Chains A and B, each alone.
Chain A
Amino acid sequence: MLLATVLGSAPLFVPSALSRTLSGSIPWISGTSPAPRGFDAARFFTAAERRCVDALVSRLIPTDELGPGAREAGVVDFIDNQLAGSFGRGERWYMKGPFADGLETQGYQSEHAPAALYRAGIAALDNHCRQRFAGRVFAELGEEDQDALLKQIEDEGLEFEDVSATAFFGMLQDNAIEGFFSDPIYGGNRDMVGWKLVGFPGARYDYRDYLDHNGARISIEPVGLSGRPAWSAE
């Protein structure tokens, strides 16, 4: 189990062997490298929520003439899995009350951990759409209406009742970018489409041969933390 996950998620006093005294040598035990918690089967969204988030991230990072967008990158899978885990529960966030509406300079002040913010945000967004668009939810709107609505939220021209629309939109934007550009082991950036779009070579660790590029383009096939598909072709 991941050390950092244990620390983040453990209630305060759980008997554990983590507290210890080290003396006399470097405490090296082979095979202790803490593996990341990669993409797994855990999911958070209901089918309806998933449709909504899929529609949302597809507007943020569209599939267009430049190539694949959030949909091909698997961004919705990434977010769904992230929200089902430690991140969704806000385990490394300070979530003690009292809660108050903060100033912009005070950052996130919602009482909702990320997963709960999505649940409340999606419900509020779809409710708003039903009232405004004859019973249709966000995913059922045309792209123009969807974009106009998102623009309205971004410009702070639209607020929901029980949850901050701007807090929800801000987190969605952050997570969409993460899902498009993070290592593929987390379920997004599928086939490294995000990295290929911009030209990031990924988890490489030696560029000494390229230092004298002098302004010429460096094109290198990207690799992820677990290699790349061509290395393990069936």
Chain B
Amino acid sequence: MVRKLPPVDVVLVGFGWTGAILAQELTEDGLDVLAIERGGWRDTPSHFPTTVAQDELRWYWRKEMFQSAARDTLTFRNNGSQTALPMRRWGSFLPGEGVGGGGVHWNGQTWRFLPSDFLAASHNIGRYGPMPEGLTVQDYGVTYGELEPHYDRFEKLCGIGGKAGNLNGEIHEGGNPFEGPRSAEYPSPPMHMTFAQHRFEAAAKELGLKPFPGPSANMSQPYVNPLGCQLAPCTYCGFCEKYGCGNYSKASPQTTILPVLMSKPNFSLKVHNEVLRIKLDSTGSRATGVIHVDQNGEEYEQPADLVILCAYQLSNTRLMMLSGIGEIYNPATGEGLVGKNYCYQVMSGADVFFDDKYTNEFVGAGALGMCVDDYNGDNFDHSGLDFIGGGYISCWTTHNRPIERQRTPEGTPTWGSAWKKAVAENYLKSTNVGAHGASMAHAGNHLDLDPTYTDVYGRPLMRMTFDFTPNDRAMSAFLTERVREIAERMGGREIKLSPREGPYDSMPYQTTHNTGGTIMGTNPSNSVVNRYLQSWDVSNLFVMGAGVFPQNAGYNPTGTVAALAYWAADAIRAQYFKSPGALVQA
């Protein structure tokens, strides 16, 4: 028995960064907005105050910060010839659950993509000719110039600390000279760098590169955002990624939006309610609302004029599939679009071990780092190289949490006295240089529904088919050599490279930067949503999140996810509600 509830203007599915942004924007016009979140309420003082937050075992290793894999996980295989099996516990990535979503446990590295990243197909083909075999890379359908004001809004919402390298087309020393033009300086100064960053900066300069401070959502000083929310200076405790911040020092929905949003009479939030599917009318071209279930197993129909998917990329894609919206991508035929162009991030790096210098990396923060962007996107000439794309190279000092972090030199055993000695000797005297590589879409990598395994409600799990592509490997091998050049000049005793070798492994943590599946584009034959993130098939359905990226750039995705959310919110406010219907004619 499904109980029908009174209608609302807008229902948001999921309540992390994009849900909070959309709710804050759309309630400004007096609309009744309801957000439905499958996890619970979470806030700084009640859920992750200091003395509760700095608990490595509980939040990361026992996974209490994340979605319960017991209720819903996904199945994984490297290619279509294998049988996908469930990810029985989280490893390579960590989907969030509960109010704030992954915005509670991110590091806070807040990037803009390059102008050319939005034109990944036309730009690269124009400069280098046809794409490498098998790539299904395409343009976003929106440009950097169009998104710039929305990047700026998000940076001001969060109080991002950094140093502009390109202010209205003018290049500024000490910032990233490769970035697209910014309309304004960062709202806060960069983080306070430590020893490892100084060594990285000097090494990079020696090589003729252009180091700059990484853009940070950890506060370099007190900040009051345009909504009036106050953030406190970061104390460099080293518990950002995988943890909630107990100190109001990391921008999250809780610290930047919820204090204002929660007091609005036209906003409400349902927690511990999971949306099972989007309900369509008999024509299949209009959403009438959503069906959701509470913890007692009671099902409800929530009618709404507008449905916006604001859950994590994997969940949004799966909900489209479970609701029968669009055709699921089939790599054998190339037909279908939902689940197409699943991409990730291609990481590699080098540990640097010092003899007589202490990096003391427990003094750290999620976005405390120096970076170079010389080898990202198309910032360097790819002529004669067998790949497109690139990534940034950085020395972040994010933490030294000891269960997670035991760096040992090449050849150290993994247990016993020799291991113990190596851990003790190197724990305070090492750092890492990392390459954060792009992931280009490939015809064989995709998402669909698993034929065997089901979630706690009996619905098919999402099935992921993914491996690094020849383009990814060539790009990563190139970047890893650049990492080596920097790492070797930092004055350490030795380095240990971690190149990207072998098949993608779903277990060791890499990044929670899953993209694609509900890609955006220029027409219904190449994309699931249009340039305003509106479904081509169902015009009163919008889809937020990194699922709309046609491929992933060499940057952390949150800045672009948020800019796209503001961009879509503007289109909904300025255009859609004035004249509901398709914002782009097919």
Q: Are A33 and B271 in contact (CB under 8 A)?
A: no
Give the complex CA separation of A21 and B50 in angstroms: 28
> Contact check: which of B43, B78, B420 meets A61 at CB < 8 Å?
B420
Give the complex CA separation of A200 and B405 in angstroms: 11
**B585 contacts the other chain (Cβ, under 8 Å)?**
no
**B272 contacts the other chain (Cβ, under 8 Å)?**
yes
Q: Are A181 and B68 in contact (CB under 8 A)?
A: no
Give the contact stretch, choosing among B55-63, B204-212, B335-343, B556-564. B55-63
Q: Are B414 and A154 in contact (CB under 8 A)?
A: yes
Give the complex CA separation of A104 and B76 in angstroms: 12
Provided the pairs A20-B272, A21-B270, A94-B70 are in contact, do residues A207 and B235 lie with their beta carbons within 8 angstroms? yes
Q: Are A106 and B76 in contact (CB under 8 A)?
A: yes
Provided the pairs A64-B417, A197-B424, A211-B192 are in contact, do residues A36 and B58 lie with their beta carbons within 8 angstroms? yes
Query: Which residues of B line the A interface, CB within 8 A?
Result: 39-41, 43, 45-47, 49-58, 61-64, 68-70, 73, 76-78, 82-83, 85-89, 91, 192, 194-195, 198, 233, 235-239, 246-247, 258-259, 262-263, 265, 267-273, 294-297, 354, 357-360, 362-363, 400-403, 406, 414-417, 420-421, 423-424, 427-428, 452-454, 456-457, 503-507
Q: Are B456 and A12 in contact (CB under 8 A)?
A: yes
> Contact check: which of A92, A107, A183 meets B55 at CB < 8 Å?
A183
Q: How far is the CB of A29 from chain B (nearest CB, A)?
A: 7
Q: Are A19 and B77 in contact (CB under 8 A)?
A: no
Give the complex CA separation of A20 and B192 in angstroms: 42
Q: A190-214: contact bitstring with B at CB < 8 Å (1 yes, 0 no)?
A: 0000110111111111111011111
Q: Are B43 and A218 in contact (CB under 8 A)?
A: no
Cβ of A100: which chain B residues have Cβ within 8 Å of it? Answer: 83, 85
Q: Are A208 and B235 in contact (CB under 8 A)?
A: yes
Provided the pairs A92-B70, A204-B237, A211-B236 are in contact, do residues A199 and B270 lie with their beta carbons within 8 angstroms? no
Q: How far is the CB of B122 from chain A (nearest CB, A)?
A: 34
Q: Are B87 and A200 in contact (CB under 8 A)?
A: no
Cβ of A33: which chain B residues have Cβ within 8 Å of it? Answer: 45-47, 49, 52
Q: How far is the CB of B454 from chain A (nearest CB, A)?
A: 7
Provided the pairs A102-B85, A203-B54, A204-B237 are in contact, do residues A21 and B358 lie with their beta carbons within 8 angstroms? no
Provided the pairs A3-B40, A28-B46, A60-B415 are in contact, do residues A217 and B360 lie with their beta carbons within 8 angstroms? yes
Pick 20 A–B contacts, CB within 8 A, sort by A.
Answer: A21-B268, A22-B262, A24-B265, A26-B43, A33-B49, A34-B52, A36-B52, A66-B420, A90-B70, A92-B69, A107-B506, A109-B85, A178-B57, A183-B56, A197-B424, A200-B427, A205-B54, A213-B363, A218-B358, A225-B51
Interface residues on A, range: 35 or more
Query: Which A residues, 95 to 122, have Cβ-Cβ distances below 8 Å to chain B?
Result: 95-96, 98, 100, 102-109
Give the complex CA separation of A61 and B295 in angstroms: 43
Q: Are A213 and B195 in contact (CB under 8 A)?
A: yes
Query: Which residues of A line the B interface, CB within 8 A?
Result: 3-4, 7-8, 10, 12-16, 18-29, 32-36, 59-62, 64, 66, 69, 86-87, 90-96, 98, 100, 102-109, 147, 150, 154, 173-174, 176-178, 181-183, 186, 194-195, 197-208, 210-218, 225
Q: How far is the CB of B8 from chain A (nearest CB, A)?
A: 11
Give the complex CA separation of A18 and B97 in angstroms: 14
Provided the pairs A15-B296, A19-B295, A106-B77 are in contact, do residues A28 and B45 lie with their beta carbons within 8 angstroms? yes
Give the complex CA separation of A203 and B243 in angstroms: 13
Provided the pairs A23-B267, A94-B73, A215-B358 are in contact, do residues A194 and B456 lie with their beta carbons within 8 angstroms? no
Provided the pairs A95-B70, A197-B424 are in contact, do residues A60 and B52 lie with their beta carbons within 8 angstroms? no
Q: Are A186 and B506 in contact (CB under 8 A)?
A: no
